[in-house]
Amino acid sequence: MNKIKLSLLTKKIIRGSIPFLIIIVFWYFLYHFHQSTTGLIPSPNLAFLSFFQLIIDGKILELILTSLLNLMPPFILAAILAIVLGIIMGRNKIVFQVFHPFLSALYPVPSLAWLPFIILFLGFTREAVWFVIFLSAFIRMIFSIISGVQNINIEYILVVKNLAFSKLKTIFNVIIPCSLPHIITGLRLGFGAAWRSLVGAEMLVITLGGLGKFIWVSQWYFDFDKVIAGIITISLISLLVEEVIFKRIEKNTLIKWGAID
């Protein structure tokens, strides 16, 4: 059984690596073609060397910790408020009718588009970046949560009404467990949106440091190998959070509620 799982994992890794290998091959061709004209495109070897040098120097850990410090407070607050308001909107038609048009109007607007306006009130501060991240994560999460609550089997609600459950008991014993897959999906989407907004905001408010500032400063010094190293780091962090945290939580949740064995 272990050999079968290892074989399936190996095949999955090999298949998942194909697009990356294609990009690296294309990158080599692009590097050699432009080397004689601009000389600005770094070779894959130099970019990966810069990435590993950042790891050896400990710089990459410092950048990641700084970015996470900028990210986590607004993301956690956005998650809490999205879950609370999402449950209320999913169960109350009046509240849904009041807030849904407003949230729908905010949804298509990129969060970074609000940053210049927010800076007018909060300045080039961490609070300005937090507000942008909060807005980005909250908007992406709440619609998934509302959908999960609205699609709960009505028979479950009727049963708990017959059992005279209180509203809080209904929420914690029925609504949240039944909509948990949608909540996890919302958290996943919210984190992705928050992570993208964070890097963009750090490029504009460089006093906060982090990966965004590192990429922004590197490109002004024409250290494009470091720019690519920063991009690799951003991708790896996002992939790590997706595979190690969200997929594990999702799998454990589905097993607990009997969706899979």
3-state SS string for the chain? CHHHHHHHHHHHHHHHHHHHHHHHHHHHHHHHHHHCCCCCCCCHHHHHHHHHHHHHHCHHHHHHHHHHHHHHHHHHHHHHHHHHHHHHHHHCHHHHHHHHHHHHHHCCCCHHHHHHHHHHHHCCCHHHHHHHHHHHHHHHHHHHHHHHHHCCCHHHHHHHHHCCCCHHHHHHHHHHHHHHHHHHHHHHHHHHHHHHHHHHHHHHCHHHCHHHHHHHHHHHCCCHHHHHHHHHHHHHHHHHHHHHHHHHHHHHHHHHCCCCC
- 227 inside domain: yes
> Contact at 8 Å (CB) between 186 and 140?
yes
- 190 inside domain: yes
Count up the domains in the chain and report the number. Answer: 1
Q: What confidence tens digit (pLDDT) does each residue in 63-118 have?
A: 889 888 889 999 999 999 999 999 999 888 899 999 999 999 988 888 878 878 88
- 224 inside domain: yes
CATH number at residue 189: 1.10.3720.10
pLDDT value of residue 82: 94
Among 108-112, 143-147, 208-212, which range has the highest average pLDDT?
143-147
Among 138-147, 198-207, 217-226, which range has the highest average pLDDT?
138-147
Beta carbons within 8 Å of 77's beta carbon, 6+ residues apart:
134
- 33 inside domain: no
Tokens standing for residue 64: 């990641």
Confidence tier at 260 by pLDDT (50, 70, 90): very low
- 30 inside domain: no
pTM for the model stands at 0.81
Q: Could you tell me which residue, 256 or 192, shows the higher pLDDT?
A: 192
- 1 inside domain: no
Q: Residue 107 sits in which domain range?
A: 56-256
- 198 inside domain: yes
pLDDT value of residue 137: 92
Q: Could you tell me which residue, 66 or 256, shows the higher pLDDT?
A: 66
Confidence tier at 254 by pLDDT (50, 70, 90): low
pLDDT value of residue 200: 83
pLDDT value of residue 73: 92
Confidence tier at 150 by pLDDT (50, 70, 90): confident
CA distance 22 to 229: 18
